[in-house]
Amino acid sequence: MSESATHAAIEAVARNSYGRLVAYLAARSGDVAGAEDALSEAFGAALRRWPEDGVPLKPEAWLLHAARNRLVDAARHAQVRKRTEPLLQLTTDAETVAAMNPTFPDERLKLLFVCAHPAIDIAARTPLMLQTVLGLDAARIASAFLVSPAAMEQRLVRAKTKIRDAGIPFRVPDPPEWDERAAFVLDAIYSAYTAGWGSGAGDGSTHHALVQEAIAIGRTLVQLMPGEPEASGLLALMLHCEARRPARQTHDGTFVPLDRQDPALWSRPMIAEAEKHLRAASAGKRLGRYQLEAAIQSIHAHRAVSGVIDWREIALLYEGLIRLAPTIGAQVGRAVALAESGDLPAGLAALEAMPAARIANYQPWWAARGHVLRRIGRQGEARTAFERAASLTDDPALRTYLLEQAVR
């Protein structure tokens, strides 16, 4: 077999099965870093052997076999008895798996719960997921999270050491623990998505790649948590937002607010996929934050069909969101929806009721205030609010847009 064909085969296995291989090995050894190292050595062995021997019939089983040999060797070398025992068990498991199944057990859900364990530093959870489940390298993750590769590497190493040494178990929690723990997993995925957000991120940029990775984990999660409506809700939310990527900026980089976007530029297939997941979620009859946020985006998406935005409905959904978690974002969202639905005084009152300390540096609050004041006719104050909003964003396109609003 040619070398390039072998490389292509290895890349395909890495792309499709990396997370499953890491999860399978780590779930049995309790050691994520050890599993990754063993697997990378196994891939190295494949690069040497497959061009001569041909790609094995079951490439994943071959890699597992090679990786667990490394793990057992490493454990024997360290003479850590306790760790060797489960690994010897792993040896038999891997043989059985290789002999009997076309595929091997999917332990990625356990791995996701480990990555988003409350005992793990919250700043490490998302990077840990991206690295272990998707195989992203630390340097790429670092650039998406705006930290140095060395700092990110250190954060990841620390988290993996803690998983091993503090004995964080590879298990799927049962109710009532499930709700809280599943929320940590969802939040970590959403934070990968928001880290990739930002209108300056064009196709092919690191940030855009991160958005796609977040959606990929979201799709996996829906398969792994079929009974969890919030997993479907989160995926629907990400897909709805991603569907609008082409409309968020004009070709010259000018920011376009959501209600001015040209729906013809929105991705119809992505909206359809989002709606499918949102419907599946509502069948679960258990409302949650992500379903509500996805439902709000769904109403915006409906403008493509109806030509109008049902702001009253949006205000109601934000109210539900505030009842679940009174975040500053949800409160601003509700105020804007009230104003847009025609009740300008109520919108302004809702904005002004928010504590000054919380909104002082919150750009969306100042932008919302600017819009509402301008529509009421208080031009001078609107201008000040837009200028303040512009000073609080790090997004150049948005800053330009807000400064334009200030002088309108």
Closest distance between other proteins and the C-beta of residue 122, in Å? 16
Say if CB 338 and CB 368 are below 8 A apart. no
For position 168 contacting other proteins by CB under 8 A, the verdict is yes
How far is Cα of residue 186 from the mean position of the Cα atoms in its chain? 7
Given candidates 78, 166, 258, 325, which one binds other proteins under the rule CB under 8 A?
A: 166
Return the range that interacts with other proteins (CB under 8 A); candidates 135-143, 160-168, 197-205, 359-367. 160-168
Given candidates 52, 77, 81, 167, which one binds other proteins under the rule CB under 8 A?
A: 167
* Degrees, nearest 5: CA angle 258-260-261: 65
d(CA 246, CA 81): 56
Given candidates 53, 85, 165, 352, which one binds other proteins under the rule CB under 8 A?
A: 165
Site for other proteins in 105-134 (CB under 8 A): 117, 119
Return the range that interacts with other proteins (CB under 8 A); candidates 159-167, 277-285, 297-305, 347-355. 159-167
Nearer to other proteins, 113 or 190 (CB): 113
Q: Which of 373, 369, 375, 374 is nearest to 388 (CA)?
A: 369
For tokens 């009152």, the residue is 349
d(CA 282, CA 279): 5
Size, binding site for other proteins by CB under 8 A = 9
Return the range that interacts with other proteins (CB under 8 A); candidates 50-58, 97-105, 167-175, 386-394. 167-175
Nearer to other proteins, 28 or 117 (CB): 117
d(CA 405, CA 251): 20
Tokens encoding 226: 């079929």
DSSP-assigned states of every residue in 57-110: SSHHHHHHHHHHHHHHHHHHHHT-HHHHHHHHHHHHHHHHHHHH-SS----HHH
Nearer to other proteins, 160 or 244 (CB): 160
For position 78 contacting other proteins by CB under 8 A, the verdict is no
For position 80 contacting other proteins by CB under 8 A, the verdict is no
- Residues near other proteins (CB under 8 A): 117, 119, 165-169, 171, 173
